[in-house]
Amino acid sequence: MAPGAGPDSRRPRIGVTGSARRFSASWYAIRLSVWLAGGRAIRITTRRRYPQEHLDAVIVSGGDDIHPGLYDSEELPDKEYDHERDELEQSYIRYAVDEGLPLLGICRGYQLINVFMGGSLHPDIRKMRKRTSNFGTILPRKTVLLESGSLLADVSRSARLWVNSLHYQAVDRVGEELSVAGRDLDDFVQVLEHDDGAPVLGVQWHPEYLVYLPAQLRLFRWLVRQASHRRSSSEFPLG
């Protein structure tokens, strides 16, 4: 069966927020990644809403810059911002955090989770890089070193990951209840997770373009597994 072709009630429903553009390479790559991991991706945009209470997990995907006003910074010249998408995705992040839905942030999505939790961003790190390249690519050309004992180190079964890089912004101040789980060779934060073990994970790269690497596919398998556990517990509550 093709990814997402027809309803499959046995698969956890993973809401994927993203761009409202008709064609989104990231959406199709995430859709396939979620399918390979055992879930069913549901596209959510400002033009395509979906009831939050019907989801088992949420992915906030990559895309355009977050409006800098959300972290008390200035707009950059010649940049386009999407206030409606910012608001939409914050509402899904809020619901996931409040209700304990597994939550994965990818690139912009990871940055937005940090901003939502009270953190801030470096508006442009291109001149700050010393050991890493500004060259953007979906290929794994960059090293991320994971913190020993972190969630992602456990999930990926690795202390070092090869990742891609399509960003020029980065996490500056880390949000409340979040901890750093990985950095690149320039010491920029690349992975955030929740302090108290809640199923919240954010990565600066795009794992949906790297699912041919086992460690990257395990990230989606973790999310689907968490969604399955939550779904089972809600269908068969204790007491």
User: Regarding the domain delimited by 13-235, which CATH topology (the fold level of the hierarchy) does it fall under?
Assistant: Rossmann fold (3.40.50)
Structure tokens at 147: 């913190």
Mean pLDDT of all residues in 199-213: 98
- Kindly indicate the confidence band of residue 74, based on its pLDDT and cuts at 50, 70 and 90: confident
Residue of 77, 106, 80 lying closest to 93 (CA atoms): 106
- Asked if 110 and 59 count as a contact pair (C-beta separation under 8 A), the reply is no
Reply yes or no on whether the pLDDT at 238 is more than 60.
Answer: no
Residue 180: which region, alpha, beta or left (left: phi > 0; alpha: psi -120 to 50)?
A: beta
Mean pLDDT of all residues in 174-199: 97
167 is catalytic: no
Residues 6+ apart with CB under 8 A from 153: 146, 147, 159, 181
Mean pLDDT of all residues in 189-193: 98
Among residues 89, 193, 194, 206, the one annotated as catalytic is 206
Pairing of strands 40-44, 103-106: unpaired
Rounded Cα gap, residues 63 and 188, in angstroms: 19
Among residues 89, 107, 167, 193, the one annotated as catalytic is 107
Residue of 173, 170, 176, 206 lying closest to 190 (CA atoms): 170
87 is catalytic: no
Reply yes or no on whether the pLDDT at 76 is more than 90.
Answer: no
Domain limits, the chain: 13-235
Rounded Cα gap, residues 74 and 70, in angstroms: 10
Rounded Cα gap, residues 103 and 101, in angstroms: 6
Give the model's pLDDT for residue 235: 65
**CB-facing half-sphere around the CA of 119: CA atoms within 13 A:** 24
For the chain, the first-to-last Cα distance in angstroms comes to 38
99 is catalytic: no
